[in-house]
């Protein structure tokens, strides 16, 4: 069976390799604007599904996987920061607080779409302004939702999590494995 990941994220590639030995990467270009009138849970699943469905158009016989992640604090979505200053602002907001990371995965095989959603709570310890500045200076926060990478230097910011570590990285590995197995894309 051919497998396609509809994402250019290096973290998702790394995580998908825990399930699959071989797959093609074919990033999907979709409008990722969130509808503020809809619940975040629905929107994140819609985006993951949209990526998988878009890539499936050019790979109709493959199992196509899409995913999306967002960080939410008090109903506010913290996406990827556009500048070091915005990264520092996000980290200041997260400091000493608990936020949620929502990660959706979607798979399309022979026109059938299945989705999974994971919500993980992440506790940040209280951060001193100079800690935030040092972390932002590494450049790591600039391509990460919520301005941190739990699997990298941002690990020192996290006091604890309740949920799936891999989802915080960007792909709910166990849920995706079960989803693919359930649709016949992996052996039982």
Q: Which residues are identified as catalytic?
A: 68
> For strand 3-5 and strand 24-25, is the pairing parallel, antiparallel, or unpaired?
parallel
Element (H, E) at 70: strand 63-73
Distance CA 50, CA 33 (A): 12
State the residue for tokens 């009138």. Answer: 37
Query: What Å distances lie between residue 41 and 24, 38, 46, 140, CA to CA?
Result: 28, 8, 9, 26
Length of the chain measured in residues: 188
Instruction: Report d(CA 155, CA 177) in Å as an integer.
Output: 25
C-alpha distances in angstroms, 42 versus 2, 39, 63, 65, 152? 28, 5, 22, 18, 29
Q: Dihedral sign for Cα 148, 149, 154, 160, please.
A: positive
């Amino acid at each position: 069976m051919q497998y396609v990941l509809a994402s250019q994220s290096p973290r998702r590639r790394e995580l998908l390799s825990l399930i699959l030995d071989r797959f093609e990467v074919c990033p999907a270009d979709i409008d990722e604007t969130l509808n503020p009138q809809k619940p975040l849970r629905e929107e994140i699943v819609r985006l993951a599904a949209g990526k998988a469905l878009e890539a499936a158009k050019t790979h109709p016989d493959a199992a196509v996987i899409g995913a999306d992640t967002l960080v939410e604090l008090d109903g506010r979505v913290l996406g990827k920061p556009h500048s070091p200053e915005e990264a520092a602002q996000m980290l200041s907001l997260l400091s000493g607080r608990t936020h949620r990371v929502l990660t959706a995965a979607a798979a399309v095989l022979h026109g059938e779409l299945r989705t999974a959603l994971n919500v993980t709570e992440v506790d940040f310890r209280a951060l001193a302004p100079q800690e935030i500045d040092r972390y932002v200076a590494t450049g790591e926060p600039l391509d990460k939702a919520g301005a941190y990478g739990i699997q990298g230097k941002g690990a020192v910011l996290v006091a604890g999590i309740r949920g799936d570590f891999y989802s915080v990285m960007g792909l709910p590995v166990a849920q995706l494995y079960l989803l693919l197995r359930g649709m016949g894309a992996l052996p039982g």
